[in-house]
Amino acid sequence: MSHPTFKQMMNEVVAYGSCCECGSCVLVCPHNVIEYIDGKPQQVAKKGGAFDFCGISQGIGCDVCAQVCPRLGEREHAIAEQVFTGDAPYNGGFGRYRRILAARCSDPELLKRCQDGGVVTALLAWARRTGRIDGAIVSSADPDKPASPKPKAVTTEEEILGSGTSWYTYCPNNLALEMAEQLDLKQVAFVGVPCQITPIRKMQLRDPAYLVNGRKKQQHVDRQTKFLKGFAERVSLTIGLLCSEVFTFNGLMEDTIANKMGIALDQIAKFNVKGKVLIYKKDGELVEMPLREAQEYARPECHHCADFSAEVADISCGGVGAADWTITILRSERGEEIFDAAVRDGVLEVRPIEDFEVSMKVLLRLARKQRERVPIPPGRSPSFVRPGGYPVDA
């Protein structure tokens, strides 16, 4: 397994334009070299220094940040075998898995508040109630910024239920793992889009032995190891959200919805995307917007992501091609065990995927399309971003 460097991360990811803004590199930096500024890591340790300079990296050695970057080193399809180690027997066009089905929560009131089938919210609330987790990392509504999410570690059912809405703008959930550490949570469910699940897996997989190089004191090795491994050690379950792209807040929310469409952001109850953007207002009105218009505000960083279906999560969920149901991919033995227990407790109801033929076709089409659209970084082969290295369609 290769060990990329800070300099590579800043040049081949940040300067190149593929940084997804997950903030994981900032989270795990042991020496306060970088900070999360305007959505990107910026070198702050040496005023006036080059943007790609880290004195620790070039001195005693570190590069912990670069090990967890989802756009550097191994990509999702390359680490899946290490993640599942044989317990995901099937390998479809949407990654490795054990079972795929459709599900929705059994509580009709919760179903009204949540996205699609409400599976993620219902599963988290049940897992907290039964003691299977002691908290969760989620995107929660920002009370100071309507229609905008903020990363948060939640510890109660009430907080979990209050986070059951998607806003389709980017939220750096990985940064909330620092809050989980402050709360001393031990069994955390992490919910995020694919580019946020991958850093968690890289933290779990990376062998810290490379940090021992003969140039540093043991205290430095211990600190770097703690930051590389410690946050992910608190994560006991990963739930990935199917995602092709998200939109810029300024472009979609402020310029278009608030200014052009005249919809006050604090009057929006929730969003959804089903071939078009669905805006649910608090007064009950449903306003539709052409998806093509919204896609004008898609983040360009998203076009560097080849993982539509969160291929290395324990469970992947999304409403692709389905109304009021969640297409659910059970990938790991851990994810399957927790999901099945929730079904036995009557929290979730399920239907076979054969009942959702359209959803399967859309899932396969979007997964392939996403792999094909990713530009090949300079000096890389097609297999770096796509299994088998098949070419991008003309």
Rounded Cα gap, residues 372 and 389, in angstroms: 10
Are residues 155 and 248 located together in one domain of the fold?
yes
Are residues 302 and 352 located together in one domain of the fold?
yes
Question: Does pLDDT of 390 surpass 60?
Answer: no
Question: Does pLDDT of 311 surpass 90?
Answer: yes
Model pLDDT for residues 90-106, shown as the tens digit of each residue:
988 899 999 999 999 99
Angle between helix 218-233 and 194-205 (nearest 10)? 140
Helix (H, G, I), strand (E, B) or coil at 137: strand
Question: Does pLDDT of 386 surpass 70?
Answer: no
Judge whether 1 lies within some domain: no
SS (H, E, C) 245-261: CCECHHHHHHHHHHHHC
Rounded Cα gap, residues 139 and 136, in angstroms: 10
Are residues 264 and 364 located together in one domain of the fold?
yes
Q: Residue 392: pLDDT band by 50, 70, 90 thresholds?
A: very low
Are residues 176 and 286 located together in one domain of the fold?
yes
Q: Residue 86: pLDDT band by 50, 70, 90 thresholds?
A: confident
**Where is pLDDT greater, at 11 or 87?**
11
Could you give the number of structural domains in the chain? 2
Are residues 96 and 204 located together in one domain of the fold?
no
Average pLDDT over residues 272-276: 86
Residue (of 357, 310, 316) closest to 336 by Cα position = 316
Judge whether 244 lies within some domain: yes
Question: Does pLDDT of 249 surpass 90?
Answer: yes
pLDDT of 165 reads: 81
Question: Does pLDDT of 210 surpass 90?
Answer: yes
pTM: 0.94
Question: What torsion do the CA atoms of 86, 91, 97, 99 make, to the nearest 10 degrees?
Answer: -120
Are residues 155 and 269 located together in one domain of the fold?
yes
Are residues 214 and 282 located together in one domain of the fold?
no
Judge whether 390 lies within some domain: no
Question: Does pLDDT of 310 surpass 70?
Answer: yes
Judge whether 362 lies within some domain: yes
Judge whether 393 lies within some domain: no
Judge whether 165 lies within some domain: yes
Angle between helix 76-84 and 194-205 (nearest 10)? 50
Contact yes or no for 150/23 (Cβ under 8 A): no
**Where is pLDDT greater, at 88 or 252?**
252
Helix (H) or strand (E) holding 99: strand 99-105
Model pLDDT for residues 155-175, shown as the tens digit of each residue:
999 999 988 888 889 999 999
Rounded Cα gap, residues 27 and 33, in angstroms: 11
Judge whether 298 lies within some domain: yes
Helix (H) or strand (E) holding 55: helix 55-58
CA-to-CA separations, 363 to 343, 359, 369, in angstroms, rounded: 23, 6, 10
Average pLDDT over residues 346-364: 97
Q: Residue 376: pLDDT band by 50, 70, 90 thresholds?
A: confident
Q: What percent of the chain has pLDDT over 70?
A: 96
CA-to-CA separations, 187 to 27, 130, 178, 259, 284, in angstroms, rounded: 19, 12, 14, 43, 38
Are residues 94 and 45 located together in one domain of the fold?
no
Judge whether 306 lies within some domain: yes
Are residues 287 and 273 located together in one domain of the fold?
yes
Identify the burial level of 313 via C-beta atoms within 10 angstroms of its C-beta, where 0-12 means exposed, 13-18 middle and 19 or more buried: buried
DSSP string for residues in 253-300: IIIIIIIIS---GGGEEEEEESSEEEEEETTS-EEEEEHHHHGGGB-G
Residue (of 17, 12, 20, 32) closest to 224 by Cα position = 32
Q: Structural domain of residue 353, as residue ranges?
A: 78-191+239-385
Question: Does pLDDT of 192 surpass 60?
Answer: yes
Phi, psi (rounded to 5 degrees) for 353: -65, -20
Straight-line distance from the first to the last Cα atom of the chain, in angstroms, rounded to the nearest whole number? 33
Angle between helix 333-344 and 119-129 (nearest 10)? 80
Contact yes or no for 45/30 (Cβ under 8 A): no
pLDDT of 387 reads: 65
Are residues 36 and 168 located together in one domain of the fold?
no
Phi, psi (rounded to 5 degrees) for 238: -120, 130
C-alpha 208: how far from its chain's center? 24
Are residues 290 and 304 located together in one domain of the fold?
yes
Contact yes or no for 114/121 (Cβ under 8 A): yes
Tell me the residue length of the chain: 394
Are residues 154 and 45 located together in one domain of the fold?
no
Model pLDDT for residues 41-78, shown as the tens digit of each residue:
999 999 999 999 999 999 999 999 999 999 998 888 88
Identify the burial level of 260 via C-beta atoms within 10 angstroms of its C-beta, where 0-12 means exposed, 13-18 middle and 19 or more buried: exposed
